[in-house]
């Protein structure tokens, strides 16, 4: 099981989360403020962070941004009362791994927690590359660092994961359903369009001509493949 930190100032929601996560076998800690969350993560890194957006001290968005400056691997699940797509996009672009809008069911939250923990603890028998280089791009999947022509390329955690699984395929086509299972986890409902959007973003950031991709290729009727070609 896992060591989970909850950052939530609504004590009723906090109590429900703590009781259900503990019942699921996890060790649960909590803080009420965004600035306290940063201090706690620095002092004792949890296995997963459940982070409310609307917090005293610092917002969840700002906490997420600061954590991602030094730690690209900590799974972060954002909670918010906001439902606008722009807020969801902002949270994911800042490096959050998943997003739940209040009110949510506890069964859905527990499913997403399990999916995030499963993805953060990869199967030791699964052979994923630690680095990849193509064209003028280099990517370090262990350190979560990417560069293009010597300049930093800012990828989200999902973009790193998607590129890593495609690179592991060594030219084999991977279906969208397979990519959703491996990158987002089977417990999370993600559409094929989500995969397409992330591929488009990767092409914009890494391809020399995003409109005519050389490395991240579409396989019509199947999905995508990564082809490391000169």
> pLDDT for 68-89, tens place per residue?
988 888 999 999 876 666 667 7
Count of domains forming the chain: 2
* Mean pLDDT of all residues belonging to the chain: 89
65 and 147 together in one domain: no
Nearest Cα neighbor of 87 from 72, 70, 102 is 102
Chain mean position to CA 78: 11
In this model, does residue 126 exceed pLDDT 60?
no
Looking at residue 155, which CATH number applies to its domain?
A: 1.10.10.10
The residue among 55, 90, 120 that closes a domain is: 120
Say which residue the tokens 């590129």 belong to. 163
Give counts: helices (H), strands (E), the chain: 8, 12
Q: Is 125 a member of any domain?
A: no
139 and 38 together in one domain: no
61 and 140 together in one domain: no
174 and 221 together in one domain: yes
110 and 141 together in one domain: no
8 and 113 together in one domain: yes
Residues 6+ apart with CB under 8 A from 119: 75, 97, 161, 183, 185
In this model, does residue 171 exceed pLDDT 60?
yes
106 and 174 together in one domain: no
Global pTM reads 0.61
151 and 206 together in one domain: yes
In this model, does residue 186 exceed pLDDT 70?
no
The answer to whether 156 touches 64, Cβ cutoff 8 Å, is no
62 and 106 together in one domain: yes
Q: Give the separation between CA 28 and CA 11, rounded to whole angstroms.
A: 14
62 and 11 together in one domain: yes
91 and 140 together in one domain: no
Expressed as residue numbers, the domain containing 166 is 131-226
Q: Is 126 a member of any domain?
A: no
Q: Average of pLDDT values for 169-198? A: 82
- Edge-to-edge strand list for the sheet holding 151-152: 131-134, 137-140, 145-148, 151-152
The answer to whether 176 touches 159, Cβ cutoff 8 Å, is no
Q: Give the separation between CA 147 and CA 139, rounded to whole angstroms.
A: 7
The residue among 81, 97, 120 that closes a domain is: 120
In this model, does residue 103 exceed pLDDT 90?
no
């Amino acid at each position: 099981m896992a060591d989970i930190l909850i950052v939530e100032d609504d004590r009723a929601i906090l109590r429900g989360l703590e009781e259900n996560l503990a019942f699921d076998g996890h060790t649960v800690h909590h803080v009420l403020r965004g600035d306290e969350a940063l201090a706690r993560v620095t002092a004792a890194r949890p296995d997963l962070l459940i982070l409310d957006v609307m917090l005293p001290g610092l917002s969840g968005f700002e906490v997420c941004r600061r954590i991602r400056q030094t730690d690209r691997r900590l799974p972060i699940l954002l909670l918010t009362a906001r439902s606008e797509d722009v807020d969801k996009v902002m949270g994911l672009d800042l490096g959050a791994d998943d997003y739940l809008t209040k009110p949510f069911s506890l069964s859905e939250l527990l499913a997403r927690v399990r999916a995030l923990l499963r993805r953060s603890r990869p199967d030791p028998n699964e052979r994923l590359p630690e680095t990849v280089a193509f064209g003028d791009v280099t990517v370090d999947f262990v350190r979560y660092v990417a560069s293009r022509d010597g300049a930093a390329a800012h990828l989200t955690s999902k973009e790193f994961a998607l590129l890593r699984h495609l690179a592991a395929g060594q030219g084999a086509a991977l279906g969208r359903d397979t990519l959703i299972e491996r990158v987002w986890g089977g417990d999370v409902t993600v559409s094929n369009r989500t995969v397409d959007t992330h591929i488009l973003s990767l092409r914009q950031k890494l391809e020399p001509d995003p409109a005519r991709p050389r490395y991240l290729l579409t396989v019509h009727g199947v999905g995508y493949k990564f082809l490391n070609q000169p």
